[in-house]
Chain A
Amino acid sequence: MELITVKDLSLQNEGYFAFKHVAFSLAQNEIISIVGDSGSGKTQLLLALSKLKTADSGKIEYTAGVRIGYLPQFDPQIINKSVRVYLEEIRSLSGKLAVSKEQLKGLIAFMGMSPYLDRQVRQLSWGLKQRVNFLAAVSGHPNVLLLDEPFSFQNSSYTSNMLDIIKDLADNGSGVIIASSAQDGSMTNYFDTNYIMKDKTLELVKDKDKEINCMLIFTVKSNSMALTTEISKYLAANVSSLVELKIPLGMKDSIIKEMIDLNYQFEGARILEA
């Protein structure tokens, strides 16, 4: 059963398209992944889906009874309550439909938050806050879960635990949309449908096993060092002081960091056709 159907949705922010002509649908038991570069419009699309922004044209149809859980990329809210009190309050907002107290306790332990239960949320690090916000989003047992960069600041162990919780929710009838700027190859198996946000619009990735690549462009400076063997294998072009690397999207950040360490000037990145 379709939970959300999006038809030709467009949104402009001060004259610039945040996204345009977006069309897709989210069904029960489905996990959708949306990958796109920073500024491609993923966050704005999730804000529109979570009803925090109104699109300029197009339509979003919600099936009756849909309850949305939303994890923002960055939540500026200052929460002076302890993790225990805050999560319990958020859980109780959904009443009987929320996960039970025992289940929430289990989720807290699973996400490694038990030692921080009596700490104020505002005192936590970004990574821990992200986990608290993730738990807050799932504690209401929503049937549509919208996650914006949920894996930022998380190690592989907690990323894997998050994915297990997401999978469990989807298996129990929820639909999930995960937006991220990079995607690890190991996550692909969790997703039913993959989209790529490119040129401000959403494109379906037909072969989901095919890796999404990205082209990084650097200029050579006078003090640039030779490329390492590890990086050389991704070299796509090296013409007149311009170096282009074709890399899997998941490696984007680490390669940029490594190239900057080698004194190359980063010029830009673009996602390649899947």
Chain B
Amino acid sequence: MKLRMLLGNFINTVLQNFLYPTLLLSFLAFELTMNSLLKLNTNEKFGFLIVGIFLMSLLISMNFLKNDAYYNENFMQKIGSYWIYFVAQVLTLFLITLFSAIVVFLFSFMLSSDVMVDIVAILSLATTGFVGVGIAFLCKQQWNNHPYAGQMGIIILVYVALAGSSIDLLHYVSWFLPPVSSMIMVFQEQSSVIDLIPIAVQQFVYSIVLVVLSGTFNEKKLSN
């Protein structure tokens, strides 16, 4: 009951200022025109989709968390359980990201006859989006007590996520960095979607770690 109520409320919060539909439709419109505009090959096109879905899910998550911090200020008290509230937030954003990944992939005209390849491609896009969700969660203090630390955190994490694997200095701590750029590099080197499975798993684990860290740091003890 609590979860159902929370999911309904959070989906309304995501949709309430039309940022999500606007971003998604803009993305799809650009996808539909980019073939003739940019004449990208499959490698470049998939790299573009990865960066696009990462930024889109990051922006949607930030928008959601900002609205949640303002509008649902007292809602958590009514629910009475921090962890149910937090899990519902994560679940909402993961489901929306998964939906976005499916739609974005379908409109990319990269569908293959092998269903397995399509599933792996969608999961790769979805897990990239999950990393964006995780970064937004980790820096959600920017709408509460630490606005500057949160904003700086977002800037640094987005930079290392997109440019991390091309900076030699960061090679030794690559396991510590958001694996978004590695996904693009692996695909460009291997040109095979199936080879993305390990990176997709790594991204999923990375996003879960970020989300759990955020949940633990920001925990509010609502029950005795």
A contact residues vs B (CB 8 Å cutoff): 50-52, 54, 62, 64-68, 70, 72, 75-78, 80, 89-90, 92-93, 136
Contacts and interface: CB of A to CB of B under 8 A. Distances in A.
B79 A66 contact: no
B79 A93 contact: yes
B41 interface: no
Interface residues of B, number: 20
Interface string B197-224: 0000000000000000000000011101
B223 to A, nearest CB: 9
B74 A70 contact: yes
B77 A51 contact: yes
A206 to B, nearest CB: 32
Contact of A78 (B1, B12, B80, B224): B12
A90 B6 CA distance: 11
B70 interface: yes
A51 B220 contact: yes
B78 interface: yes
B77 A76 contact: no
Contacts of B16: 78
Contacts of A75: 73-74
Contacts of B2: 93
Contact of A68 (B1, B77, B220): B77
Nearest to B221: A51
Interface of B: 1-2, 5, 12, 16, 70-80, 220-222, 224
A14 to B, nearest CB: 9
B12 A80 contact: yes
A258 to B, nearest CB: 35
Nearest to A72: B74
B74 A92 contact: no
A136 B78 contact: yes
Contact of B224 (A52, A62, A70, A89): A62
Contacts of A80: 12
Contact of B78 (A54, A76, A78, A90): A90
Given A64-B224, A80-B12, A70 B77 contact: yes
Given A62-B224, A65-B224, A78-B16, A52 B1 contact: no
A50 B1 contact: no
8 contacts: A51-B77, A51-B220, A52-B74, A68-B77, A70-B78, A75-B73, A77-B75, A93-B80
Given A51-B220, A65-B224, A78-B12, A93 B78 contact: yes
Nearest to A81: B8
A111 to B, nearest CB: 18
Contacts of B72: 77
B71 A77 contact: yes
Nearest to B76: A52
Given A65-B224, A75-B74, A93-B5, 11 more contacts: A50-B77, A52-B73, A54-B220, A64-B224, A66-B224, A68-B77, A70-B74, A70-B78, A77-B74, A78-B12, A89-B5
A76 B73 CA distance: 8
Nearest to B67: A78
Contacts of A67: 80
B5 A52 contact: no
Given A78-B16, A93-B79, A51 B73 contact: no
Given A64-B224, A76-B70, A92 B76 contact: no
A123 to B, nearest CB: 15
Contacts of A90: 78
A68 B1 CA distance: 19
